[in-house]
A and B are shown apart, each in its own frame.
Chain A
Amino acid sequence: MFEKWIYRIVIVLFLTQVLVPFVGLVQFSIQGAGTTPTLSSFQQLIVNPLFSGSLLNSLFLALCTVILSIGIFTPPVWHAYLYAPKVLRVIEAVSFVPFVVPAVVLALAYVQFFSSGLLNLVGTPYLLPFAFALLGMPFYVQVLLNRLRHTDALSLHEAAQSLGATGVYAFMKIQLPLLRSGMINGGLLIFTISIGEFTITQLTTGGSYNTLPLYLMIAFTNNPLEGSAMAVLTLVLAVMGVVAALFFASDKRRRVKGERA
C-alpha cells in the first residue's frame, strides 16, 4: 500500500541519517586518509599506556559513582515511597536539578565553591563521583520508582509486616530482592553516564586527571586516526551497555511470567 511505503522510506532515511556518521567513523578509523584498510590504529591504542591509564581511571570513577548513588539514593527513595509520599515529591523535584543546572554551570559553581578551606577539591578527581551521581540522579530515581510502582511494594511490605516480620527483616528479605533489578538497571545508567562524562571532568580537574572522554579529545587532536579508533571503541561500549540493559529488562519479564505460572 502507498501509505506503508512512505513509512518505510522514512525509516530508511532515518537509518541512513543515523548510520552515515558511524560508517564514516569506522571507515576512517581503519583506513585513515590512505587507501589500504588496517587495524593499526586500534593496535596503537591498546598498547598506549595513556589509553589504558585513562580506561582504568574511568572504570574506577564509574564504579565509585555507582556505589555512591546506590548508597545515597536507594534507602531514602524506598523509605519515602512507603511511608512519606510528601518527602517523595520533594526528592523527585530535587532530582530534576540537573535539568535546570547544566554541567557547565555546575562546573562553574564547583570551581568557586570548592576552591578554598576545608573543601579545597578543585583540581582533584574527588569531586567527580558526587557530580556524576548528581547528573545521574533523575534517571536512577525514576528507574527505582518505576520498579517500586510496578511491583506494588507497599502492599507486599504491609503483608510481610502483618505476618509479623519486623521492619529490618522485611526490608532485607522482601524489599531488597525486589529492588535489586531496579538497582542494577539504574546502576547501569549511572555507569554509562559516568564513563562518558566530559564537561565537569575537564572543567574542574583542569586536565590533571585523565579519563576516557578526556583522552579521546586529546588523542583526536593529536592523531585523528587514534582518536577515531577510540570513538569506535567508546560507542561499542555504549551499545553493549544498552543491549545489556535491554537483556536485563527482558529477563525480568520472563521471571515475572514464571512467577505467575
Chain B
Amino acid sequence: MIYGPLFLFISLFALIPVANVIANSMWARGLTFNFYGQSFSSQYLNAFITTLKVAFWSGLIGLIGGAVVALSLWRSKSTWVTTVISAMSGVLANFAGLPLAVAFMVTFGVSGLVTNALQKFFHFNLSQTGFNLSSSVGLILVYCAFQIPLAVLVLLPAYSSLSEDLEAAALSLGCNVLEYFRRVLIPVLAPSFLGTFSLLFANAFSAYVTAYAIAGGSVNLIPIQIGYLINGNVSLNVGLGNALAVEEMVVLSLSLSLFVLSLRMRKKRRQRVKGGAINV
C-alpha cells in the first residue's frame, strides 16, 4: 500500500515516541503525578513563567513591528523592494537560528559594532548600564530579529488580500487615512493579527538554539531545562523532563488552536452565499 511507509514513519518517529513521553510523565512503577508536582516547584515554575513572558513579549513586539513594516511595504507599492525584503525575511525567519545568535553576540559584545558605535558617537557605555544580551530583555531583543521578519512574511499576503475599494469606500464616507486604519483595516485584519501572534508566540515558546547560544544557563527557560535534563547536566530525572515536555506541548497546542480559530474567522468573513440559500 502506498501510504504504508508514510504512516510507519510517522508512527515510529513521532507518534509512538511522543506517546511514550506522555505515558512516562505520569508513570513510574504506577500512576504518579509527582513529576508534575516537581515541574511546578520554584525553579521550573520560574522557567515556565519566564518562557511565557519572553514568548509573549517577543510575539507582541514581533506582531506590531511586522504589521507596521508589512503595512509600509504594501502601501508604498514598490514590487522590487517587497521582493527583496521578502527574500531577506525568508532567510531570517526560517534559517538564521545559530548564525543570527552569533551575529548578535559579536555585535553587542565587548568590541562589537554597536558597543563601539555607542561609545564613540554618544559616549555611552553599554556594559556599564547593566545591559546584557543573556537576560530576558536581551533574549527578547534577539528573538525580535526573527519574529518581525516572520510576521512580515505572514502578513504581507493578508494586506494584499484587502480590496482597494474598501479604502475608497471608507474615504468617501468621511474617513481620513488614520480613521480608515482604525475603523476598517485593523478590525478586518484582526483574525490575521491573532493568527500571526499565535504563530510567533509558539515560535518563541519552543525556540532552543538561539536561547542556548545566547543565554545558556543564565536565563531560565523550559526548552533549555529540557535540554539540560537530556544532556545530564542536571541529576538525571527523565520523568521531570517528560512532564515539562508535556506542558510545553499543551501550551503549543493551545496556541495552535488559536491559530486554527483565526483561520476559521477569516474563512467565515470571506464566505459567499451561493445560489439562493439566504436570498430574499
Contacts and interface: CB of A to CB of B under 8 A. Distances in A.
A220 B102 contact: yes
B153 to A, nearest CB: 12
Contacts of A220: 102, 105, 213
A109 interface: yes
A138 to B, nearest CB: 12
Given A3-B177, A20-B113, A97 B98 contact: no
A112 B238 contact: yes
Interface in A97-124: 97, 99-114
Nearest to B230: A203
Interface in A1-53: 3-4, 6-8, 10-11, 14-15, 17-18, 20-25, 27-29, 32-33
Interface stretch (B33-41, B163-171, B186-194, B245-253): B245-253
A56 interface: no
Interface stretch (B42-50, B88-96, B123-131, B267-275): B88-96
A243 B90 CA distance: 10
A10 B72 contact: yes
Interface in B41-89: 65, 68-69, 71-73, 75-76, 81, 83, 85, 87-88
Nearest to A243: B87
- Sorting the interface of chain B by its residue count into under 10, 10 to 19, 20 to 34 or 35 or more gives 35 or more
Contact of A33 (B111, B177, B206): B111
A76 B1 CA distance: 9
Interface in A232-261: 232, 234-235, 238-239, 241-243, 246
A228 interface: yes
B12 to A, nearest CB: 8
B209 interface: yes
B173 interface: no
B171 to A, nearest CB: 13
A21 B107 contact: yes
Nearest to A21: B103
A11 B90 contact: no
A37 B104 CA distance: 20
A216 B21 contact: no
B102 A112 contact: no
B220 interface: no
B24 interface: yes
Contacts of A198: 97-98, 208-209, 212
A199 B97 CA distance: 10
Contacts of A60: none
B16 A113 contact: yes
A113 B238 CA distance: 12
Interface in A202-238: 203, 206, 213, 216-217, 220, 224, 227-228, 231-232, 234-235, 238
Interface of A: 3-4, 6-8, 10-11, 14-15, 17-18, 20-25, 27-29, 32-33, 71-73, 75-76, 79-80, 87, 91, 94, 96-97, 99-114, 130-131, 133-134, 192-193, 196, 198-199, 203, 206, 213, 216-217, 220, 224, 227-228, 231-232, 234-235, 238-239, 241-243, 246
Interface of B: 2-3, 5-6, 9-10, 12-18, 20-21, 24, 65, 68-69, 71-73, 75-76, 81, 83, 85, 87-88, 90-92, 94-100, 102-114, 145, 148-149, 152, 177, 202, 206, 208-209, 212-213, 223, 226-227, 229-231, 238, 241-242, 245, 248-249, 252-253, 256
Given A112-B238, A241-B95, 9 more contacts: A24-B114, A76-B5, A104-B206, A104-B223, A105-B21, A106-B14, A112-B24, A217-B213, A235-B103
